[in-house]
Amino acid sequence: MSKYDFIKAGNLLYWNDPDNGISSGDYKVISVPEEVHEDSIILIASRHSEAEVFASELSPIPQTRSHKEEFLKWREKQEADGSVFYNRLSDVIATEFDLEVGDMVAFTNDYGVVFGPCEILAFGKPWNGDRCVYLDSDAYWFADRPSQLTLISKRASE
C-alpha cells in the first residue's frame, strides 16, 4: 500500500500549487503512471486549465459534513405538500447521463469553482434551467443542473 493510493485517473483531488498557491484548487486526475511515487508526474485538469504536477503536491479533498438527515426531513415536508422525488435522472429528463441516487459527483458552480465529492440524494422535476439534482451539500434544498456535475463514482452495489 502506497501513501499515494488516492491518486487515480478520474479522481477529484486538491492541488497545492508550489508557486505561492496561484492555481491551487480542485482538479480531476487525467493520467497517472502505473506506480506513483513522490516525484511522479501526474496530469490534472480543471474546466479552465491543465497541468503536470508532482504526486507530492496532491491531496484528497476531505468529505464535508453530511446534510442527508436534514435533506430527508425537508424531503418529507415537500412530499407532504405534493412534490415528487425520483431515484434516477432518466426518470425526470431524457438523457444519456446515467445518474442515480447514491452516485458520487463533483459540482462545478457557475464561476468554475468545484465542490465535492457530493452524494446524489434525489431527483425532482426540472425547473429554472434544468435544475433537478439534489446533492448532499449545505444547499441540499436547491437543485443543481446535470451539466454542472462530473461523475466521480457509481453508487456501491448493495
DSSP per residue, 137-151: STTTTS-B-GGGEEE
Number of domains in the chain: 2
* Domain identity same for 37 and 86: no
d(CA 35, CA 78): 49
d(CA 42, CA 124): 38
* Domain identity same for 54 and 128: no
> With 60 as the cut, is the pLDDT of residue 50 above it?
yes
With 0-12 / 13-18 / 19 or more C-beta atoms within 10 angstroms meaning exposed / middle / buried, residue 134 is: buried
d(CA 14, CA 114): 10
Top-confidence residue, 108 or 54? 54
The one-letter code for the residue type at 137 is S
Angle ∠(123,110,46) on CA atoms, nearest 5: 100
65-119 tens-digit pLDDT: 789 999 999 999 999 999 999 999 999 999 887 899 999 988 888 877 778 789 9
* Domain identity same for 43 and 99: no
pLDDT band at 1 (very low <50, low <70, confident <90, very high): low
Average pLDDT of the residues of the chain: 88
* Domain identity same for 79 and 124: yes
